Structure 1
Amino acid sequence: MVRDIQDEQLDRLTGVLAAMSREAAAAIRGASAALFDADRAAAEAVVAGDVVLDRYRAEAEAMIPEVLVRHQPVASDLRLVVCALRIAASLERMGDLAVHIAKVVLMRHPVGVVPQQAAAVLSTMADAAARMADKAAVVLATRDQVDATQLGLDDDEVDAAEKRLLSLLVSGWPYGVESAIDLALVARYYERYADHAVNVARQVVFLVTGTIRL
């Protein structure tokens, strides 16, 4: 009976993390839509929705002391608890980074942030970040190490796109310093978002194997 109750609590914890991963994916998609369409309503929705991720993280953290104190978790359960704390922190941070992108849009609205010259490379970063968020959600559900490893390759794509964008910004950028700063910040937010998605995958690999890879 005790073990059944503990399993139920661990299942609830896993469910909260899965919900967080879906929210983080929705947030980056909303922020990207706001960025490319200069959509104030979409940006405001991302900012307002961040409270959901904060609430989920608090819920996950509140479950952990009960699991540890009231029961006697085995080694794999303890690993899940440790990983859950780290995963929740990364997912919550992913939401924050999507909010940062949305706030750049709001700061410049109604003027668009992305000139045509930078649209393709930023689109590459946005698409890769959204894809990584989806894969992180899948990895959380399946704990598949192959899928987890794939996130590292996607992260390389984001890093390469960021370098291309920075090259554009320092090579006679015609839209002014303010625009260059905005785009450098947005690129950094996407890059950090991708890094946190990779960290989620790393924690899943650690959960399954007891070792950190990627």
Structure 2
Amino acid sequence: MQNVNHLEQLDRLSGLLATVSRDAAGTIRRVSVALLDVDPVGARAVLAEVKDRAATHRQIDELVPLTLVRQQPVASDLRLVLAGLRMNTELHRMDVLAGHIAKLVVARHPAQVVPPPVRPLIGAMAETTVRIADKSALCLATRDRIDALQLGLDDDELDVQYQRLFGILTDAWPYGVQAAIDVAMLGRYYERFADHAVNVARRVAYLVGGDLTRGVI
């Protein structure tokens, strides 16, 4: 019976992590639409999603020590438990960052947060971030180590976009200081969200291969 409970707890942990990862990808997609469409209703819906998902993060945090103390997992299972704890932290931070974008949309309404000159670039950054989040969630579901390790290439693309954004902000920016700060923060939110998603994938590589790839933030 103890072994059955042990497997059930590990399955539950894996299932919760996969669900949260998939949902986080959906959240960054929806908040990006709200941002570019100047949609405070959509942004508030995202804030509600993030708030509701906090309960799941707490469930994962509570499940990890229970599994460690009660079940005494073997090495491979221990990797899952420890990686799960760190993944949950990364996923929680992703939710927080999506929430920051949503709050910015609500705070600036009816004005748009993204002025016309940077709209295509912010849209591209959002698209890249969503793609990274989707791939990270898929890696967690499939535990494909190769895909997990290759996700850093997409992150490199976002880093280039982030640098381009700062070039625009420092080149005779005509929209004032507050707009520049807002756009710079948006770029930072997307860049950090993607970093956390990549870290989740790298921890999948650790889970499968037993070695933690260098570069995890």
Q: Normalised by the shorter chain, which TM-score bucket?
A: over 0.9
Indicate conservation of the 8 Å contact 2:46/2:99, yes or no.
yes
User: Please, which moves more after superposition, 173-182 or 185-194?
Assistant: 173-182
Number of aligned pairs? 214
1:65: how far off?
A: 2.0
TM-score by length of structure 2 reads 0.95
Which residue of the partner structure matches residue 113 of structure 2?
113
RMSD (Å) for aligned C-alpha atoms? 1.1
Mapping 1:58-207, distance limit 5 Å: 58-207=58-207
Which residue of the partner structure matches residue 40 of structure 1?
40
Indicate conservation of the 8 Å contact 1:24/1:53, yes or no.
no
Partner secondary structure for residue 31 of structure 1 = helix
Measure, in 1, the Cα distance between the counterparts of 2:52 and 2:95: 9
Indicate conservation of the 8 Å contact 2:79/2:207, yes or no.
yes
Partner secondary structure for residue 102 of structure 2 = helix
Is 1:212 aligned to residue 191 of structure 2? no
1:53: how far off?
A: 2.4
Measure, in 1, the Cα distance between the counterparts of 2:72 and 2:163: 49
TM-score by length of structure 1 reads 0.97
1:71: how far off?
A: 1.7
- Identity rate of aligned residues, in percent? 51
Measure, in 2, the Cα distance between the counterparts of 1:87 and 1:19: 12
Measure, in 2, the Cα distance between the counterparts of 1:125 and 1:53: 24
Indicate conservation of the 8 Å contact 2:145/2:209, yes or no.
no
Structure 1 unaligned blocks of 5 or more: none
Which residue of the partner structure matches residue 13 of structure 1?
13
Measure, in 1, the Cα distance between the counterparts of 2:186 and 2:171: 18
Which residue of the partner structure matches residue 57 of structure 1?
57
Deviations 1:22-68 (A, max 9, x none): 22112111210111000010110111111232111100111122211
> Which residue identity lines up with residue 26 of structure 2 in the other structure?
A
Measure, in 1, the Cα distance between the counterparts of 2:65 and 2:115: 49
> Which residue identity lines up with residue 106 of structure 1 in the other structure?
V
Measure, in 1, the Cα distance between the counterparts of 2:165 and 2:33: 19
Indicate conservation of the 8 Å contact 2:139/2:147, yes or no.
yes
Measure, in 1, the Cα distance between the counterparts of 2:17 and 2:91: 8
Measure, in 2, the Cα distance between the counterparts of 1:78 and 1:95: 26
Measure, in 2, the Cα distance between the counterparts of 1:11 and 1:164: 43
> Which residue identity lines up with residue 91 of structure 1 in the other structure?
L
1:188: how far off?
A: 0.1
Measure, in 2, the Cα distance between the counterparts of 1:148 and 1:126: 20
